[in-house]
Structure 1
Amino acid sequence: MVGISLITFAVISLSPGDPAEITLRATLGTESPPKEAVARLHEEMGLDDPWHVSYLKWISRVVHGDLGYSYQTKRSTLEEIIRALPTTFCLASISMLFSAIIAIPLGIAAALRQNGFVDHICRLTSIVCLSSPEYFVAIVFMLAGGIYLDIFPIAGTGGIEYFILPSLTLSVGLIAITMRIMRTSMIETLEQDYMRTARAKGLSRRKIIQRHALKNALLPVIIYMGTQFGWIFGGAVTIESVFALPGLGRLLVNSVSSMDIMVMQGCMLTFAMIVVLINLFVDLVQLYLDPSVRAQGE
């Protein structure tokens, strides 16, 4: 987290443009704000201080829960983030749900019919999904589901129906990789010695898959999807902008376009904290679910 805060602060500090002048342009609605006002805002924003002094002042406030305030809306950065975070969390959660519902059954079907028609279709689909940019997938879903079929709204916020198209868009890449991991894990599990023993005992193929193979094959998929949950928040930056969702990603994009430094730094730090905490949680879950990991730790 300290390293990420240093990198974030350095990148924002080295960005072109004068944040004070850009802020006054937006606030006053003029291309040439008064120099006295720019100088006052420079002092208020701490832009005249050396880089390391500005960083230490900012990080000392962050440690005490003060992320500063937005120079555009004059509201607390923490309040802005808290207001936007539920939208992004809902978007990420529904995307994970779509990924699990679609990718896991397809991966199992591809593994059970290895090198068959279903397997070839699934592998081809995964390649197409991974090769398609998110903004292109978003446009396709907006045209198909929102305009031609007129089933779901294509922009704005409201009920759960507003999250369907953006969540499907965000889950496309995750579906492709999760499906391939599920397929590979299932094939490896079915080739284990204890699976041959179960078949030798006369257990039906269905019971072998349900009682033994599926539980063991799901572990790598659960671990992967858990780690990707944090990274989905990063993908929300593009999706929320396309579908006009008032989430954390759109808040970051708007703050970048207006050079709202405090909001930019707060959003980046929040994204980093989410990824770190989710990865920690996934490691603890793996430690609980996987006996081999516990044995290595002991």
Structure 2
Amino acid sequence: MEYSLKYILKKILHSIPILIGTSIISFTLGVLAPGDPALQILSMDGINQPTEEELLNLREEMGLNAPLYIQYGRWVKKALSCNLGESYISGKPVFDELITRIPISFSIALFAVILAILIGIPLGVIMAIKCNSFIDNIGRIISLIFISIPGFWFAFILITIFSEKLRILPTSGLEGFKSLIMPSFILASGTIGIIMRLTRANILKELNKNYILTAKSKGLPYKITIFKHALLNSLLPIVTLIGNYFASILGGTAIIESIFSIPGMGRFVIEGIFNRDYPVIQGYVLFTGTVYIVFNLLIDLSYLILNPKIRLGGGS
């Protein structure tokens, strides 16, 4: 128990410098980006050209004339209170805009993870059981296709088949559960292929270990050997992959959300990039970076449950 607490504290402390680095990168994106925020705000109507005095006053009001370290300190202080600035385009708080879109992106990402687990792990187990058979070869081909095919191209194929030809799934927008099926499967496809291969390789590796050979020699049923021992001991790298995948996909749905016209966080930041809406870009990078760090921390903590060696002080 004492070692477990030390392990948890160690992982939390290791996350702090990464979080600080993420905040610096997020802030730098806005500072080094081309263009003058004050000029952009005052020129939004596209009619009147702001005067130099107006620009100077707005820069002073926005704190752009202060040294960078002071600007960074102010920005971090606001970010800690969930204030990520206001969008240049809509004038609304960036944090509020992100919060309203999180459930949409989260739903797509969660469904994609569920699909990756429910499809990738069982197929990987079957491939391991049927190693070097026709089924195994077909599985390896399918996994390679899933890994190799570009997501946007796969999206157009599925839209053509299921929306244009069969007319059973919507092409765009958010119209309930059906709208999540194609975007989530496309996001999950590459990871499904990776999980299939990773599960197969890890189970085959476990099957050659002494404890499995001992279990077989004692007459333990093959299914119990596979699912209770080989698969369970193969889960650590799979859990790591799935955890990192969910964290990254939550902030990486931009292309898919744009293709399917889904009003999630990804589409929001794409519009922000095109409009040079720097507070949106800064807020998005900081938010998704924080999510990624938190999920990596949760993955590390899950090892305490999955790996007794760590729980007992035999790993780090």
Same structural fold, with TM-score higher than 0.5 when normalized by the shorter chain: yes
138 and 67 in structure 1: CA distance in 2 versus 1, 3 angstrom threshold: same
For 2:45 and 2:86, the matched residues in 1 are separated by 18
Secondary structure of the corresponding residue to residue 26 of structure 2: helix
- The offset of 1:296, in angstroms, is 2.3
The structural deviation recorded for 1:38 is 4.6
Deviates more, 1:80-89 or 1:139-148: 139-148
Specify the alignment match of 1:42 in structure 2: 59
Q: Which residue of 2 aligns with 1:103?
A: 120
Retained in 1: the 8 A contact 2:207–2:230? Answer: yes
User: How far, CA to CA, are the matches of 2:246 and 2:105 in structure 1?
Assistant: 11
Q: State the 1:233 CA deviation.
A: 1.8
Structure 2 match to 1:17: 35
Structure 1 stretch displaced more, 203-212 or 255-264:
203-212
Among 34, 49, 67, the alignment partner of 1:33 is 49
8 Å contact 2:128–2:136 — kept in the other structure?
yes
Task: Summarize deviations over 1:202-248 as a string: whole Å, max 9, x none.
Answer: 23323322333232233431232122210112321221111111111
Change (3 A) 1:148 1:39: farther
Equivalent of residue 52 in structure 1, options 44, 69, 87: 69
Q: Where do 5+ consecutive residues of structure 1 fail to align?
A: none
Question: Once the 2 structures are TM-superposed, how far is the Cα of residue 39 of structure 1 from its aligned partner?
Answer: 4.6
Aligned pairs for 1:205-284 within 5 A: 205-284=222-301
- Residue 296 of structure 1 aligns to which amino acid in structure 2? G
Amino acid at match of 1:98: L
CA distance in 1 between partners of 2:55 and 2:135 (Å) = 64
1:22 to 1:107, Cα distance in 2 relative to 1, 3 A: same
**Is it true that 1:293 corresponds to 2:310 in the alignment?**
yes
Residue pair 2:94, 2:283 contacting (<8 A) in 1 also: yes
Q: Spell out, residue by residue over 1:7-39, the C-alpha distance to the aligned partner (whole angstroms, 9 max, x if none).
A: 2222332222333334444x3144x63335555
Shift in CA distance, 196/138, structure 1 to aligned 2, threshold 3 Å: same
1:179 equivalent in structure 2: 196
Structure 1 residue 138: Cα displacement: 1.6
CA–CA distance in structure 2, aligned partners of residues 248 and 173 of structure 1: 21
Asked if 2 retains the 8 angstrom alpha-carbon contact of 1:190 and 1:213, the reply is: yes
Partner of 1:149: 166
Kindly, what percent of the aligned residue pairs are identical? 35
The letter of the residue matching 1:257 is F
Question: Residues 38 and 28 from structure 1, CA distance in 2 versus in 1: closer, same or farther, beyond 3 angstroms?
Answer: farther
Asked if residue 166 in structure 1 is aligned to residue 183 in structure 2, the reply is yes
SS at match of 2:253: helix
| TM-score, normalised via structure 2 length | 0.86
Preserved contact between residue 166 and residue 240 of structure 1 (Cα < 8 Å): yes
- 1:82 counterpart residue number: 99
**Cα pair 1:223 1:286 within 8 Å, conserved:** no
- TM-score normalized by structure 1? 0.91
Pairwise CA distance, 1:175: 0.7
Alignment partner, residue 196 of structure 1: 213
Counterpart pick for 1:133 among 150, 153, 160: 150
The corresponding residue for 2:25 is 7
Aligned-partner Cα distance in 1 for 2:151–2:191: 11
Equivalents in 2 of 1:94, 1:261: separation in Å? 30
Distance 2:252 2:134 in 1: 32
C-alpha distance in 2 between matches for 1:43 and 1:144: 56
> For the structure 1 residues 22 and 141, does the alpha-carbon distance in structure 2 shift closer, same or farther, using more than 3 Å as the test?
farther
Distance 1:90 1:239, change over 3 A: same
**RMSD of the TM alignment (CA)?**
2.0
Q: How many Å separate the matches in 1 of 2:149 and 2:206?
A: 31
Structure 1: distance between partners of 2:244 and 2:156: 27
SS of the aligned residue for 1:235 comes to coil
Give the 3-state SS of the residue equivalent to 1:266 in structure 2. Answer: helix
Q: 234-243 vs 178-187, which deviates more?
A: 234-243
